[in-house]
């Protein structure tokens, strides 16, 4: 098959899932064309069957906001036509689904039929999408997709609750590729942050309010009262400034490291003993899964799709949103001794393996075949 994948190229779950899916499809012999405005972060090298088409966004003095959706649409028309694509798979509805719809209509007038599949990832539904400024377009483009998938049952439920949706939504969970997470000896790096064998606690996100980074710091302060520990925060975003301020107020700065954005997360995640993801909502929580496959147990919230990804008391623990006391108590249960930590490390790894890409890829291939046979 010749497949066009439209995604965000930045660090973030939907782009990571789209890129890794494309790479796996290419490995199986499909021809994959990524169409986005920058080279996707996980696409460090182009390989056999993989092509990248950059959407060039030009500035013009009249535009206060450059109309990305239009240039993306034109690019889709061009790539579908000249690369003879069979289908488009768009990740994150805004604005990819409506651009795909528009491209489909333009191509129809030229006698070309191109189906498109929309994969809903999370905030395109739960935060941004349901905002009245987007809702009518999202509803329309979901209803006019040739197939729609969601990354969890929870997200499917949110979509049905917030939108007047007609097509069947198929749940296809996110995945990991175990071979990309080989255990490497990172003890030297760990020692630079935790020279006296302190436990290393990690958080990784885009520091948006939905991630509740302040709860990470409050939880850490409670843990550090009981055991020697260091906190590493990976990523950047709107709440970083106030998080740094809070860390000064809590008096935990000497044990806290803000690393900023890191491209190869698997290189740093290995040094963690515990991962903390106290989000307000999380349609899936790919970051938690990436921690788990690296044998790092997770403290998370009982929110959105996280209960579908985690196993309570095995891969870590889930608490109510904002209950930092419970999160700290659970963290200490995991970290209290090496035996307990090893048990949770094994539990996290076992649970993560349920999301092996080899179990997930056939669902996408079947869906593509169904769409093409319609
Ligand atoms: O909104 C975000 O946090 C980014 C978004 C994305 O596009 O990267 O993440 C969403 O999609 C991920 C991949 O499917 C999920 O693992 C995240 O849980 C989801 N984020 C939220 O629901 C907040």
CA of residue 225 to ligand 1 center, whole Å: 32
Spell out the SS3 assignment of 153-217.
HHHHHHHHHHCCCCCCEEECCCCECHHHHCCCCCHHHHHHHCCCCCEEEEEECCCCHHHCHHHHH
Atom of ligand 1 nearest to the CA of 13: 8
Site residues for ligand 1, CB cut-off 6 Å: 12-14, 17, 92, 121-123, 126, 151, 174, 206, 210, 281-286
Domains of the chain: 2-175+356-373 (3.40.50.2000), 178-355 (3.40.50.2000)
List the residue whose alpha carbon is closest to atom 10 of ligand 1: 122
Q: Record the pTM.
A: 0.94
Answer for the pair 96, 7: CB distance below 8 angstroms, yes or no: yes
Q: Is 189 exposed, middle or buried (0-12, 13-18, 19+ CB in 10 A)?
A: middle
Strand ranges in 55-100 using DSSP code E only, listed in sequence order: 87-91
Condensed to tens digits (0 to 9), the pLDDT of residues 308-341 reads 999 999 999 999 999 999 999 999 999 999 999 9
Beta bridge partners of 36: 54
Atom of ligand 1 nearest to the CA of 304: 22
DSSP 3-state assignment of 331?
helix
Q: Indicate the length of the chain as a whole number.
A: 374
Condensed to tens digits (0 to 9), the pLDDT of residues 180-230 reads 677 677 889 999 999 999 999 999 999 999 999 999 999 999 999 999 999
DSSP 3-state assignment of 130?
coil
Mean pLDDT to the nearest integer, 146-164:
96
């Amino acid at each position: 098959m010749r497949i066009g994948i439209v995604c965000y190229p930045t660090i973030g779950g939907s782009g990571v899932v789209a890129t890794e899916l494309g790479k796996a499809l290419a490995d199986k012999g499909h021809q994959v064309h990524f169409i986005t405005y920058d080279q996707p972060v996980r696409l460090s090298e182009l390989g056999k069957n993989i092509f990248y088409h950059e959407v060039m966004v030009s500035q013009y003095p009249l535009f206060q906001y450059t109309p990305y959706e239009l240039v993306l649409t034109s690019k889709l028309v061009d790539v579908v036509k000249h690369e003879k694509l069979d289908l488009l798979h768009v990740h994150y509805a805004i604005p990819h689904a409506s651009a795909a719809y528009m491209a489909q209509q333009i191509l129809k007038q030229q006698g070309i039929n191109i189906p498109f599949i929309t994969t809903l990832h999370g905030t395109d539904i739960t935060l941004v999408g349901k905002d009245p400024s987007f809702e009518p377009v999202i509803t329309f483009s979901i209803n006019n997709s040739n197939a729609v998938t969601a990354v969890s049952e929870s997200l499917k439920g949110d979509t049905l609750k917030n939108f007047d949706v007609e097509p069947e939504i198929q749940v296809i969970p996110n995945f990991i590729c175990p071979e990309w997470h080989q255990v490497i000896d990172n003890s030297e790096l760990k020692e630079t942050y935790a020279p006296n064998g302190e436990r290393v606690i990690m958080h990784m996100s885009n520091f948006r309010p939905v991630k509740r980074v302040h709860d990470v710091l409050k939880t850490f302060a409670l843990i550090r009262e009981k055991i020697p520990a260091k906190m590493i925060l990976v990523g950047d975003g709107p709440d970083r400034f106030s998080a740094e301020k809070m860390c000064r107020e809590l008096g935990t700065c000497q044990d806290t490291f803000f690393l900023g954005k890191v491209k190869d997360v698997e290189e740093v995640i290995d040094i963690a003993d515990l991962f903390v993801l106290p989000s307000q909502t999380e349609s899936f929580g790919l970051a938690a899964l990436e921690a788990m496959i690296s044998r790092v147990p997770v403290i998370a919230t009982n929110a959105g799709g996280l209960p579908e990804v985690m196993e309570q008391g095995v891969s870590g623990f889930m608490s109510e949103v904002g209950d930092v006391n419970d999160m700290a108590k659970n963290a200490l249960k995991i970290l209290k001794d090496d035996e307990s930590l090893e048990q949770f490390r094994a539990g996290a790894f076992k649970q993560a393996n349920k999301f092996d890409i080899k179990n997930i890829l056939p669902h996408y291939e079947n869906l593509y075949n169904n769409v093409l046979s319609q």
